[in-house]
């Protein structure tokens, strides 16, 4: 029998690409009738290498094709950049898929799986007469908020200015009303209105949405998709997570072995890990407040501190400070005074640190992958969202699921890189102490959910059955 060929088109940023590649691997391991080809793009303006795809074992069932690079005009507005990039890549995608369908050993093209931001690639699925599924790299509640805001914009003519004037909003996928400050800037800012409407409207055109989450974690949100009238008639969802790589290969990564060795010498659940994702950075004033909080709390710590990208440069990821530079941005003598207690590092082997029994708490930006990893390894989070849907995630963790402690919920880094306020040392210190609480309710809840997250993809788990439904849908296209 010919294999069912699925073409994946992921967003090339690490937080999207990693989970998409893991999901592709999971699908081919689950069912040998599937053959997957991943089309990897390189973002313009970046120095990003294809390191993420190197660790992937290509096989008869899984193949990776790096598409040609495209360039964009230098002065393009941030809110138009994504659309322009995708339009420029469309011919390359079509060409790659045409080449696939004429290959000797090619299976039957059955479907596309596109990233949540790439919904305008659904047109290409139509050209090849196959369905297109969306891979949504955040949670079900967050997906629901995107769809709901799109609906009220279209149906009730609510624009961003009217949204901003409200204090909270009832969203079907949340049990509690959601404060307006918990919504992403792209929903609230006038200049992002057309980007948002395009993006969320595109989600509604998909033939199904695969969500990197699981029913046991987001039971209210998942149920609302099946029962709430406002969500009726929308694409079917497949919560098939958590899609994480519990054992990433960081061998040879600078400093990661030293950090793990240091953790080996620390008491059980005693270390707080501060890490703010691939793009999270702070200015000097904020760095000094964090340092004061760490020092005053006296806790054992690992702090992943990244150097902000130069002002006015688009799409460049943060880099690491040199030791001399660290001495200048941290309070004088901080490194010497805390040498016995902790480590300030650059890039962090996050999964290995969270997996280590000495790690007891995680001060996090609340990116969805980080949330899934912290739950999987049973490490409670202290919330410090920065941008995108992180404020929504932080609200969900603290107020809906009661599975995190709050440092802040309404902190936000605007598109120009400026934060809306300075978080003071006493607030940060309180969060650090609370997240390390040994017998707290939050820790208990996270440990229970950790067990569930490890079972949900095994036979009998909810993600296992959603994955089965998805595979049946794909194979039935042959």
Which own/partner contact pairs does 196-199 have at CB distance under 8 Å and 24+ positions apart? 196/149, 196/150, 197/150, 197/153, 197/154, 198/83, 198/119, 198/120, 199/116, 199/117, 199/119, 199/146
Q: Assess whether 16 carries a catalytic annotation.
A: yes
SS (H, E, C) 115-129: ECCCHHHHHHHHHCC
CA 255, 256, 258, 262 dihedral sign is positive
Q: Assess whether 356 carries a catalytic annotation.
A: no
Asked if residue 47 lies in contact with residue 12, where contact means CB atoms within 8 angstroms, the answer is no
Alpha-carbon distance of 291 to 326, in angstroms, equals 12
Of 18, 115, 356, 466, which one is the catalytic site residue? Answer: 115
**Structure token pair of residue 468:** 């089965």
Peptide bond before residue 59 is cis, with ω within 30 degrees of 0: no
Terminal alpha carbon distance of the chain? 10
Alpha-carbon distance of 261 to 312, in angstroms, equals 39
Burial of 137: CB neighbours in 10 Å, binned 0-12, 13-18, 19+? buried
Alpha-carbon distance of 151 to 169, in angstroms, equals 13
Task: For residue 15, give every residue at least 6 positions away whose Cβ sits within 8 Å of its Cβ, in sequence order, or none.
Answer: 137, 277, 278, 367, 368, 369
Which residues are designated catalytic? 16, 115
């Amino acid at each position: 029998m010919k294999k069912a060929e699925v073409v994946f088109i992921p967003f090339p940023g690490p937080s999207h690409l990693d989970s998409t590649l893991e999901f592709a691997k999971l699908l081919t391991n689950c069912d040998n009738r599937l053959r997957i080809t991943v089309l990897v793009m390189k973002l313009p303006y970046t120095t990003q290498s294809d390191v993420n795809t190197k660790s992937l074992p290509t096989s008869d069932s899984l193949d990776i094709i790096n598409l040609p690079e495209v360039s964009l005009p230098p002065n393009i507005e941030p809110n138009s950049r994504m659309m322009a990039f995708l339009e420029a890549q469309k011919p390359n995608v079509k060409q790659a898929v045409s080449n696939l369908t004429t290959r000797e050993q090619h299976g039957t093209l059955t479907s596309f799986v596109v990233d949540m931001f790439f919904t305008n690639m659904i047109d290409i699925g139509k050209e090849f007469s196959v369905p297109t599924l969306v891979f949504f790299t955040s949670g079900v509640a967050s997906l629901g908020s995107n769809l709901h805001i799109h609906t009220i914009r279209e149906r009730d003519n609510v624009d961003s200015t009217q949204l901003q004037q409200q204090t909270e909003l009832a969203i079907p996928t949340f049990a509690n009303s959601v404060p307006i400050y918990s919504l992403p800037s792209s929903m609230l800012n006038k200049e992002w209105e057309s980007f948002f409407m395009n993006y969320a409207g595109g989600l509604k055109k998909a033939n199904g949405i695969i969500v990197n989450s699981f029913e046991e974690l987001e039971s209210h949100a998942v149920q609302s998709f099946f029962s709430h009238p406002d969500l009726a008639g929308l694409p079917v969802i497949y919560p098939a997570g958590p899609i994480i790589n519990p054992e990433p290969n960081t061998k040879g990564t600078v400093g990661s072995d030293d950090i793990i060795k240091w953790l080996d010498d620390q008491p059980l659940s005693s270390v707080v890990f501060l890490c703010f994702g691939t793009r999270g950075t702070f200015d000097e004033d904020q760095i000094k407040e964090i340092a004061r909080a760490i020092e005053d709390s006296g806790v054992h710590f690992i702090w992943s501190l990244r150097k902000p990208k130069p002002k006015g440069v688009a799409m460049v990821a943060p880099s690491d400070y040199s030791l001399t530079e660290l001495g200048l941005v941290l309070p004088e003598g901080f490194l010497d005074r805390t040498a016995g207690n902790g480590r300030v590092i650059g890039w962090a082997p996050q999964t290995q640190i969270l997996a280590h029994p000495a790690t007891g708490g995680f001060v996090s930006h609340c990116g969805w992958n980080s949330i899934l990893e912290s739950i999987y390894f049973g490490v409670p989070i202290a919330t410090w969202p920065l941008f995108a849907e992180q404020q929504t995630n932080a609200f969900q963790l603290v107020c809906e699921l009661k599975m995190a402690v709050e440092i802040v919920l309404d902190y936000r880094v605007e598109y120009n890189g400026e934060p809306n306020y300075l978080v003071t040392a006493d607030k940060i210190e309180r969060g650090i102490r609370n997240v390390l609480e040994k017998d707290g309710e939050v820790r208990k809840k996270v440990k229970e959910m950790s067990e569930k997250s490890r079972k949900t993809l095994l036979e009998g788990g909810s993600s296992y059955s959603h994955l089965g439904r998805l595979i049946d849908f794909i194979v039935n296209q042959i």
